[in-house]
Structure 1
Amino acid sequence: MRFFISMLFILKLGSVSGQSDAQQFLNSKSYLVLGLSEAVSETNRAGIWKLSPAIAVRYGLVVVDGYDERLDPMWSTRAAQIWYRHLYNQLSDSVLADIAMVEGPAYAQRVAYNAIAYRRWQNKLVRWKDEAETRTAINFDQWTYNEEPLLGPVYWEDLDTTIGGLDWNRIKAINPAITGDYLPAGASASIRLDSNIDEDIMERLWARAEVRDRDAGEELAQIRRRIENNIPDPSTHTRISYRVKSGDVLGAIAQRYRVSLSDLKRWNSLHSNMIRIGQDLVVYVPRGVEVATVTQEQAVENEGQVRSDEENRTEIQYRVKSGDTLWSIARNYPGISADDIMRWNGINENIQEGQMLLILVENTARP
């Protein structure tokens, strides 16, 4: 890895010599920059030369999440210069090469056999040249800094904490290729800095990135577990533990904390409404919601009821699908009526897609 960083540094030193050539190319083709800004609307083309990702990578630019060298005027001009040279060698005509920069080689080849279209493009290029003479030219002198090589994974803000004394806003201003927070693992980049990045600094940047990635992975795993278990967002709900007291019923607890009965059962892996004194229940209370006072009679109205002769049946959790009604669901289970489903779940006939329903079936009655 250290050898690779050293090679990156050597290659970037060699690229500095091409700055004056790139400036000369930009000055001679500034009208194309103007025309490209007017003519190209494809969202995948970026930078002053409106390079596509494929063209950019083909001619030596790095295009990854968090870092896109097409947005760096100097580096993208180096790539555009090589591309233009190839187009000119292919088409043997400067007008067609200009057209190919804007519309692509295939389109330029078609124009070569259409005199009217060729003349129209000549006029358009002349207009762009006239307009470009009134614009302020881009000068690469403002980007004349040491180009320090980096190899991901690197979090950009760690440059300041690792090296120290850096102005992050200035770093972003002189490094327009930085588009996000992070350089992915294995991706290479060059950053303009007043300080040097040696192998020791690179090792420390990788160590910081490893810690960040591990923390992010643990956070993502927690979010996945929360979603899988239908646990609310902790920024909007507070997790509390409620200990069941004598006389409590599950519906009263749910109404007291303004949560649904089905959610309360899911959070506590309950397959029925049976609870016992001293049992600890997890409740995710919406923030800013006042705890309600619910009478025993009100809770019983919404508490599912199971007869003693139904207690040995098999419990099924049924998720309501689009178009379901209690009657259509009941038809799937012999001997069960819509009234049974309403009684078991403490609901009326109104159900919603995604709602979980308790169904008690005989062991031989499953569909």
Structure 2
Amino acid sequence: MIKYFAIATFGLFSLGHSSAKNPEEVNVEDSFSDYVASLDSLVNVWHTRPATEAFVVDTIMEREENLVEELPDSVYIERLSAINSPMHFPFNSQVKSYIKLYTQRRRDQMATMLGLSEYYFPIFEAALDAANLPMELKYLPVIESALNPRALSKAGASGIWQFMYYTGKQYGLEVDSYLDERRDPVKATQAAVAFLSDLYGIYGDWQLVIAAYNCGPGNVNKAIRRSGGKRDFWEIYYRLPRETRGYVPAFIAATYAFTYAEEHHLHALDIQLPVATDTIMVSQPLHFNQVADMVQLPVEVIRELNPQYRRDIVPAKNKMYPLRLAFNHTTAFASLEDTIYTHRREEFFPNNQLVVAPTSASSHPVVAPAGRETVYYTVKSGDVVGLIAEWFDVRASDLRYWNNINRNIIRVGQKLVVYVPKDKVGHYQTIAERNGTRTSVSKKATDVMASVDQQSGEFVYHTVRSGDNLWTIAKQYPGVSNEDILRLNGISDARKLKPGQRLRIKPRT
């Protein structure tokens, strides 16, 4: 299974220092700048979204509460060695960088994943225990998908364990127009456990197993051959694909961060997924709305508990399929089962046929978030997702999710849905109309500064790139400070820089 995903966008574990001799000497800052920049899209699920801040490109300006006391390396080494596991957890500069990412720089996202782990980890642990595999393998989905069962990589890897299509089929996961069991946390976990067992049978070394899970056994075998038969991850490190080199360090760091969360004062975010659930075997086609109407349950909850169903339909036409609900709702379903099947049946299944047209694999149903109304924006030449999101004060990941945007690709004339606060609909409709009729690239929608013609040459501009932060930008322009850039652009939160954003740097002299 070749997957270029990991926790960020895809193919991100690239250290970019192939000339270095010792992995300890490598500065891994560049290896996870994209990793950091895209975590929000992975943890951006409905049951945590209200409590999750925008996750953007790193900046050295951190909130005061996130400035955590530095620990000596000896503490990390001692703690890693104290983890009771058949797996080995070495410590080096790469591992330390990822540990600091989880425990210091991205504490909000760590809190989200800690909350999600309360629902997903028992599923992982039961399967790992049954196969007699190390319990620490439950942390693999943290770096694969940030515990998001709907995660989809550019390469096509899907689900919480990030299976490619053919690997998923090989391990018994059903994928068709209505169903994708790679997104079923239970069945995908069973498949992942079988795959990991097979990989251990090949390598007999857990670090090589983890590397092979990411890039495929073919690439690991190639790295072993090119290194003269060495079978140690760190000895074949530079023979592995660049995307895989940071994968094992990230896994070690995730294991550390979850094991020692309390020591770093990290606490689980309260999520809205029920811990006690049960499954009902559905014997005929069933639409989520039929269930939602009769058991008085938001359809979003049904979707999150059953992410494997692509079109809100359980396609139980020729065989039975499971539907997972909170325990109290399974009781209600059982008492109303016949009524549920007949409710609105002709609307959803005329002549008992599956007539809802399937869409692309990346498509998903979207419901307006509570307390928000719809505003439409028509894409114009020169628009990019990040800037449109900024105009409407929403996250780029939300804009992509609402409009099924893949790889930030939008086309001129495309009509985008934007969900804005109900009490500000008029304001954002004005923004949509103003930006929709512009003839040049627009300024920030909040209009915090006096209008300046972008073509007048009154300012020096800088376009934000992936990996930029205020400090690195300011260094490129002598005499300019972080504060100057904040003031000229009306930015109150330095962490809200987005790739593609155009910043005023200084007046042109």
TM-score band (shorter)?
A: 0.3 to 0.5
Of structures 1 and 2, the one with the larger relative CO (CA 8 A, separation 6+) is 2
Report which of the two has the higher share of strand.
Answer: 1
Report which of the two has the higher share of helix.
Answer: 1
The TM-score normalised by the length of structure 1 is 0.43
Bigger radius of gyration: 1
